[in-house]
Structure 1
């Protein structure tokens, strides 16, 4: 085979590989090239100087938007020892409470939201209780747990379609002074960084242009 033809064929293969490499880098890095921001993280252990109390309202990151909740644990009505302080979502006023984040969070289209928390049954009666967890219009789900269920991890992830502001709410349902127990809440968002991806694509385009220039010089 003519050497010139072989060289041209290899050069075309090189151009294709360069393009695929650039695209591959961009695809691989699209997930990792993101800024992860922790919007809220709370295990309740620092509340009230680490001491439980009934009908607690002075949370660092939350307001009790309705009803009441109890701050328990650390030896005070400690139904699940070893978990520090946690929240009984049905306080001691015959009306379940709603915890609402004091800060509304800003989300942009394309943000990936990750929400995790722990819920447990009331640990006192053989009855089920429920809590509705919501993040504005972005997310809402009701969780129903039997009284004997220990702390269970729940994780939800979703992508924001339209820019919005939203508070995180945990709404206890009931009114018998016995509710689900809440602990270890974490809310984060991941914002894509298009700069790195565009840089990789630009690198690939530059490499392609150089190879085409080399090919043109050979064909001349």
Structure 2
């Protein structure tokens, strides 16, 4: 077989292998090219004590009403084995808003993940509700019947414009009995510049290898 044809075939194989390798490299890095930061994680179990109209949370301020911190043995533990949790309609006749003490910063392109657990009031035959918001990024109202146990809720979205926001759980009601809240987690994911630079460097390496093969082929053909 002609040497020129052999080297042409080898060159085509090399190009294909380089392309496949680059695709695999990009695919692998797309799954790990984001840095995940936990902004808030709270099960309420670190609070010092349970109390009606509790307002000494580590991570939260209580505004526009009151909430109850319940769940310890013998103190309104309606759903045992869940540690401490919050009744969002406290004992003052006005449901409260649990607002994060931290004002979170988000940049365009950030992926935000929010998860939390809600349960029915476990006492009154009514459907209670709570409005959950993260500044202008997210706002939704959740309704649960009386005896629904703790249920996981998750929401994910991408930030369009840079903004600052607090995380708020606004109880709705005025009968001293509201939805129960537990296990709140807020994270954000941002692209890692190093992953992008690595991909560009690999592409440059591949281009250099192809150029060398072409130069070798030209020298042989000459």
In the superposition, the TM-score normalised over structure 2's length comes to 0.93
Q: Secondary structure at the match of 1:96?
A: coil
Aligned partner of 1:30 in structure 2 is 30
Q: Distance in 2 between matches of 1:27 and 1:201?
A: 14
1:3 alignment partner in structure 2: 3
2:69 aligned with 1:71: yes
Query: Contact 1:19 / 1:205 at 8 angstroms: preserved in 2?
Result: no
Distance (whole Å) between structure 1 residues aligned to residue 28 and residue 62 of structure 2: 43
State the partner residue of 1:160. 159
Match of 1:52 in 2: 50
Taking the aligned partners of 1:108 and 1:26, their CA distance within structure 2 comes to 24
* Structure 1: tracts of 5 or more residues without a match: none
Q: Contact 2:64–2:96 (CA<8 Å) still a contact in 1?
A: yes
Q: Give secondary structure in 2 for the equivalent of 1:209.
A: helix
Q: Name 1:20's counterpart in structure 2.
A: 20
Taking structure 1 as the reference length, what is the TM-score of the superposition?
0.94
Unaligned stretches of 5+ residues in structure 2: none
The answer to whether the 8 Å contact 2:7/2:217 transfers is no
Matched with 1:137 is 136
In the TM superposition, what is the alpha-carbon distance from 1:195 to its structure 2 partner? 1.6
Q: Secondary structure at the match of 2:50?
A: coil
Q: Is the 8 A contact 1:19 1:208 kept in 2?
A: no
Query: Structure 1: how far apart are the matches of 2:38 and 2:20?
Result: 35
